[in-house]
Structure 1
Amino acid sequence: MSRYEEGLRLIEESCGNGKDNVIALSTIGMEPGDSATPCPYVRDVDAYYEDGVFYVTTWAKSNKIQQITQNNNVAFAVCFEGISGNGVGENLGWVLDPKNAEIRTKLRKAFAEWYDQANNEQDKSCVILAIRITKGTIFRDHGAVRYDMDFVNKLEITEGKISL
């Protein structure tokens, strides 16, 4: 098993199997004004993990979706799991869109305790956000073990370089 595959196994153990994960999601927004300076924003969200993607239910008019529409590069950290990285955010659209049926079922199951209280599925602004991981880092044993992963090329990377 390669170190990349070992890292995937660790992410699956920590975040997979239908678990409701809390992740800190960071986006880039543009500050109002003439200079329109980029500014990072971070918030905790509940996320379901599957095959290199975190899924979140949210409101289409939320700041995170508006910011991702302008710049889809995001960063994340899985709270208290030693897993962080970068990804690409994508608004998959309305939760009741037939193309979202399979992932919606999984989200409803993972978030069963609170899903109906937090989401109005009849409102077309209730959407699914996909966070497709591009790079990830996993720390174990207080940093004694570290996996740096390139999810695009499916390889472990070291100091920004691809390891073969």
Structure 2
Amino acid sequence: MGRYEEGLKLIEERCGNGKDNIISLSTIAMEPNSEGKSRPYVRDVDAYYEDGVFYVTTWGASTKMQQIAQNNEVAFSVCLGWFSGNGIGENLGWVLDPKNAEIRTKLRKTFAEWYDHANDEKNENCVILAIRITRCTVIKDHGAVRYNMDFVNKIETQEGIIR
């Protein structure tokens, strides 16, 4: 097993198998700061992980979704998980859209404890956000082992580099 595959296995152990993950999700502001530079925004969200993608139920008109519509590049960090990186955010649309049936079932199961309280599925603004990982770093043993992963090319690489 290569290092990329070892990193994938570690991610699956930590975040997969129907686990409700809290991740910090960072987007870029729609308006620049007073110096004309982009500002990051960060918030914690519950996320379900599967095959290189985090899935989040959210409000389609939220600030994060407006920001992602303007610039779909995002950053994330799994809270207390020693796993962070970048990805592409994609609005998959209404949770009740038939194309979302399979992932919706998984989300409802993973988030069963609070899903119905937090989501108004009858409203078409209740959407699924997919965060497709492009690169990440996974740390093991308090930094003794580090996996820098390029999800685009499916290889281990230098930290922060996609080839």
**AA matched with 1:140:** K
Q: Which runs of 5+ in 1 are unaligned?
A: none
CA RMSD of aligned residues (A): 1.8
Secondary structure of the corresponding residue to residue 5 of structure 2: helix
Equivalence for 2:49: 49
Cα offset for 1:98? 0.2
Equivalence for 1:118: 118
Secondary structure of the corresponding residue to residue 68 of structure 1: helix
Moved more, 25-34 or 54-63: 25-34
Secondary structure of the corresponding residue to residue 18 of structure 2: coil
Q: Please tell me whether the aligned partners of residues 87 and 133 of structure 1 are also in contact (alpha carbons under 8 angstroms).
A: yes
Q: Please tell me whether the aligned partners of residues 135 and 160 of structure 2 are also in contact (alpha carbons under 8 angstroms).
A: no
Deviations 1:17-55 (A, max 9, x none): 000000000000122689764210000000000000000
Moved more, 103-112 or 24-33: 24-33
**AA matched with 1:141:** D
Check 1:121–1:41 CA distance in 2 against 1; reply closer, same or farther (3 A cut). Answer: same
**AA matched with 2:41:** Y
Tell me the number of residue pairs that the alignment of Structure 1 and Structure 2 aligns. Answer: 163
Any residues of structure 2 matched to 1:59-98 within 5 Å, and which? 59-98=59-98
Equivalence for 2:15: 15
Q: Please tell me whether the aligned partners of residues 20 and 46 of structure 2 are also in contact (alpha carbons under 8 angstroms).
A: yes
Q: Please tell me whether the aligned partners of residues 83 and 136 of structure 2 are also in contact (alpha carbons under 8 angstroms).
A: yes
1:39, 1:72 → 2: CA distance?
A: 14
2:160, 2:115 → 1: CA distance?
A: 39
TM-score, normalising length: structure 1: 0.94
Equivalence for 2:102: 102
Moved more, 43-52 or 140-149: 140-149
Q: Please tell me whether the aligned partners of residues 94 and 127 of structure 2 are also in contact (alpha carbons under 8 angstroms).
A: yes
Cα offset for 1:149? 0.1
Q: Please tell me whether the aligned partners of residues 48 and 55 of structure 1 are also in contact (alpha carbons under 8 angstroms).
A: yes
**Residue 149 of structure 2 is aligned to residue 149 of structure 1:** yes
Secondary structure of the corresponding residue to residue 105 of structure 2: helix
Cα offset for 1:158? 1.8
Q: Which runs of 5+ in 2 are unaligned?
A: none
Check 1:31–1:125 CA distance in 2 against 1; reply closer, same or farther (3 A cut). Answer: same
Q: Please tell me whether the aligned partners of residues 32 and 39 of structure 2 are also in contact (alpha carbons under 8 angstroms).
A: no
